[in-house]
């Protein structure tokens, strides 16, 4: 757990998303297009999906608050942990879907020191008597959920759900991760441009989810203020430098000016530099399958493809140690690509184990065991 406890912050919500426009209603955000109609890539505010966004003060090495988004007032708490580089906003559309199916409360965290913080947040929010909690994590967040569960950091833990994270596949993918990150655009002209790229590249296959979650993945470049601001360059960014002996401009100064021009044309960049977290990758995923199998609570594994199963999980699944569901035609961000299907799977899991009550006429699609 040492790598998890010391790892850097991988996604923090802005206190108020920098939205140039509200983007219309929730239903209007879906990808419905008639002939000749353009898709709407404008950002959508978090407030259409969550009731509040708050901070909780916890003791950790950063010495700062942890942000989280909330929804619901009754039932078990679904504590949602996002993947690397994402934020709590990646759970927005899923939140709307699950709240309409079962009676539950949503707490979507912005992760910092990861495993240790999850336990600290639960203690800070609920004290010595936390409500029943189910941990649900995607990718890196799934690994953190498993480490949290196996370390008994959440005393009222009901269940555990991992979304599209398997030790074998993850370890194999680490070798090519840096090439993948280098292949992404480094900057974007606007939030709309970032949202459009995420959909057209397949990073998020659901337009509605992309319009709310990409706001948490990108930020304005340092030294650039909002379009409404009177200054586009922070004072002192481009420093005056002495000319060299030949009287030509300093190379360093020209580079700074070129960089600033690029920022003015492409003022948004990634909020988190994932490439710099490479030293933690092995610690997140090595030994994850056996750790998952050893957690003595009901477990659910949701995958984009059955090919992602490694040997240990294949054996465990055959032995009935966890429930598994494959959601085809999804990318890695399963809960964003198919939020309704993920909500249906999680709701069915909760009802089968009598952890939550159905609402809105929701019925399990399969017979309960």
Give the residue numbers marked as catalytic: 139, 164, 332
What is the per-residue pLDDT for 13?
A: 41
Residue 103 CB burial class (10 angstroms; 0-12, 13-18, ≥19) = middle
Q: For residue 100, what are the domain limits?
A: 52-222+266-355
Asked if the structure places residue 196 within a domain, the reply is yes
CB contact at 8 A, 318 and 312: no
**Tokens in use for 290?**
């056996």
Asked if the structure places residue 61 within a domain, the reply is yes
User: b/e per residue, 38-48, with b = 16+ CB within 10 A?
Assistant: eebbbbbbbbb
Range in 243-247, 258-262, 350-354 with the lowest mean pLDDT: 243-247
Q: What is the CATH number of the domain that holds 186?
A: 3.40.50.1820
pLDDT, tens digit, for every residue of 40-59?
999 999 999 999 999 888 87
pLDDT, tens digit, for every residue of 314-347?
999 999 999 999 998 899 999 999 999 999 999 9
CB atoms within 10 A of CB 222: 9
Mean pLDDT, range 52-70, rounded to an integer: 80
Tell me if residue 233 falls in helix, strand or coil: coil
Asked if the structure places residue 207 within a domain, the reply is yes
Q: Domain total for the chain? A: 1
Q: Residue 246: what are its φ and ψ, rounded to 5°?
A: -90, 0
Tally of helices (H runs) and strands (E runs) in the chain: 13, 11
- The pLDDT confidence band at residue 255, using thresholds 50, 70 and 90, is low
pLDDT, tens digit, for every residue of 150-182?
999 999 999 999 999 988 888 888 878 888 888
What is the per-residue pLDDT for 112?
A: 60
First to last CA, the chain: 35
Q: CA dihedral defined by 135, 139, 141, 147, rounded to 10 degrees? A: 80
Tell me if residue 261 falls in helix, strand or coil: helix
DSSP tag of 143: H
Asked if the structure places residue 19 within a domain, the reply is no
Asked if the structure places residue 17 within a domain, the reply is no
**8 Cβ contact partners less than 8 Å away, ≥ 6 residues apart:** 112, 276, 277, 280
Asked if the structure places residue 215 within a domain, the reply is yes
More confident residue, 201 or 237: 201
DSSP tag of 75: S
Range in 186-195, 204-213, 228-237, 269-278 with the lowest mean pLDDT: 228-237
Residue 30: is its pLDDT beyond 50?
no
Asked if the structure places residue 342 within a domain, the reply is yes
Mean pLDDT, range 204-208, rounded to an integer: 96
């Amino acid at each position: 757990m040492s790598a998890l406890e010391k790892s850097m912050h991988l996604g923090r919500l802005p206190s108020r998303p920098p939205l140039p426009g509200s983007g219309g209603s929730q239903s209007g955000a879906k990808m419905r297009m008639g002939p000749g109609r353009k898709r709407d890539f404008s950002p959508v505010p978090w407030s259409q999906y969550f009731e509040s966004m708050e901070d909780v003060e916890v003791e950790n090495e950063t010495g700062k608050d942890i942000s989280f988004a909330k929804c619901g007032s009754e039932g078990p708490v679904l504590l949602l942990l996002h993947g690397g580089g994402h934020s709590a906003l990646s759970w927005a559309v899923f939140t709307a879907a699950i709240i309409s199916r079962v009676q539950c409360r949503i707490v979507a965290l912005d992760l910092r020191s990861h495993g240790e913080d999850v336990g600290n947040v639960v203690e800070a929010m609920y004290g010595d008597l936390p409500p029943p909690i189910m941990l649900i994590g995607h990718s890196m967040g799934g690994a953190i959920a498993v480490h949290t569960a196996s370390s008994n950091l959440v005393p009222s833990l009901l269940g555990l759900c991992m979304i599209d994270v398997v030790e074998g596949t993850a370890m194999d993918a680490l070798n090519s991760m840096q090439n993948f990150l280098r292949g992404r655009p480094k900057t974007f002209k606007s939030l709309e441009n970032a949202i459009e790229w995420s959909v057209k590249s397949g990073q998020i296959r659901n337009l509605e989810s992309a319009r709310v979650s990409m706001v948490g993945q990108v930020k304005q470049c340092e030294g650039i203020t909002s379009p409404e601001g009177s200054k586009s360059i922070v004072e002192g960014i481009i420093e005056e430098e002495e000319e060299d002996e030949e009287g030509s401009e300093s190379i360093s100064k020209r580079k700074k000016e070129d960089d600033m021009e690029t920022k003015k044309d492409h003022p948004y960049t990634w909020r988190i530099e994932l490439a710099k977290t490479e030293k933690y990758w092995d610690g997140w995923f090595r030994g994850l399958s056996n750790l998952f199998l050893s957690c003595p609570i009901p477990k659910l594994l949701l995958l984009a493809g059955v090919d992602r199963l490694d040997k240990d999980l294949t054996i465990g699944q055959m032995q009935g140690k966890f429930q598994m569901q494959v959601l085809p035609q999804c990318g890695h961000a399963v809960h964003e690509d198919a939020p309704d299907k993920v909500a249906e799977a999680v709701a069915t899991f909760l009802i089968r184990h009598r952890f939550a009550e159905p609402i809105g006429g929701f019925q399990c699609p399969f017979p309960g065991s």
